[in-house]
């Protein structure tokens, strides 16, 4: 595709010219979401330099389909007009006294690197907020790694109204 005589845009710019659609995912979307989660986990592990997750693609996809079928996991999927998945945001409902009842958590949120800073994350976040308001949630919560390598992620959440709530996320394997 030539945009002006003798000049071609690099492939990443051509891809960015596609329209982005945001849709609520179904179990049929589980393989695409599993792939995106795998990319997210891989990026995190490369950044922190250790294998922190079991990132088996088949298991991620099967687990995603199961969660979507049971209605315990809600996903908004961003795709191009060519139906190429470029990002997603996942939501789960939680309940706590401090949160005045039901609230949403964002367990996973990812936009492929070539699509970052092009409004995809913004559209996904807007869809998540609208969904949460519709569910009557008073808040959304998200955890980011407290490392300088994730400052850009932290800043993204701040620009979308998130405040530091305190504490550090911890886990124990059962």
Q: What is the pTM of this model?
A: 0.85
HSE (side-chain half, CA atoms, 13 Å) at 25: 35
Residue 12, pLDDT score: 39
DSSP string, 101-140: EEEEEE--EEE-GGGTTTTHHHHHHHHHHHHHHHHT-S-E
Question: pLDDT 10s digit of each residue in the chain, 174 long?
Answer: 333 333 333 333 334 556 899 999 999 999 999 999 999 999 999 998 989 888 899 999 999 999 999 999 999 999 999 999 999 999 999 999 999 999 999 999 999 999 999 999 999 999 999 999 999 999 999 988 777 788 888 888 888 888 888 777 777 778
96: phi then psi, degrees, rounded to nearest 5: -155, 150
Q: Quick one: how far is CA 162 from the chain centroid?
A: 15
Burial, 13: exposed, middle or buried (Cβ in 10 Å; 0-12, 13-18, 19+)?
exposed
Determine the angle formed by the axes of helices 30-48 and 57-70, rounding to 10 degrees: 130
Q: Which helix (H) or strand (E) holds 11?
A: helix 11-16
Helix (H) or strand (E) holding 157: helix 151-159
Q: What is the pLDDT of residues 85-131, one digit of tens each?
A: 999 999 999 999 999 999 999 999 999 999 999 999 999 999 999 99
């Amino acid at each position: 595709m030539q945009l002006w005589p003798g000049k071609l845009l690099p492939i990443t710019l051509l891809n960015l010219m596609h329209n982005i659609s945001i849709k609520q995912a179904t179990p049929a979307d589980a393989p695409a979401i599993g792939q995106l989660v795998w990319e997210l986990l891989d990026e995190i592990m490369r950044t922190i330099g250790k294998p922190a997750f079991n990132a088996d693609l088949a298991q991620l996809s099967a687990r995603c389909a199961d969660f979507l079928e049971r209605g315990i996991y809600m996903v908004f999927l961003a795709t191009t007009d060519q139906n190429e998945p470029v990002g997603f945001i996942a939501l789960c409902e939680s309940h706590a006294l401090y949160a005045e009842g039901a609230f949403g958590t964002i367990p996973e949120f990812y936009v492929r690197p070539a699509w970052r800073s092009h409004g995809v994350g913004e559209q996904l976040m807007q869809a998540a907020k609208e969904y949460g308001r519709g569910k009557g949630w008073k808040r959304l919560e998200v955890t980011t790694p407290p490392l300088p390598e994730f400052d850009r992620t932290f800043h993204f959440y701040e620009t979308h109204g998130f405040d530091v709530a305190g504490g550090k996320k911890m886990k124990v394997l059962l």
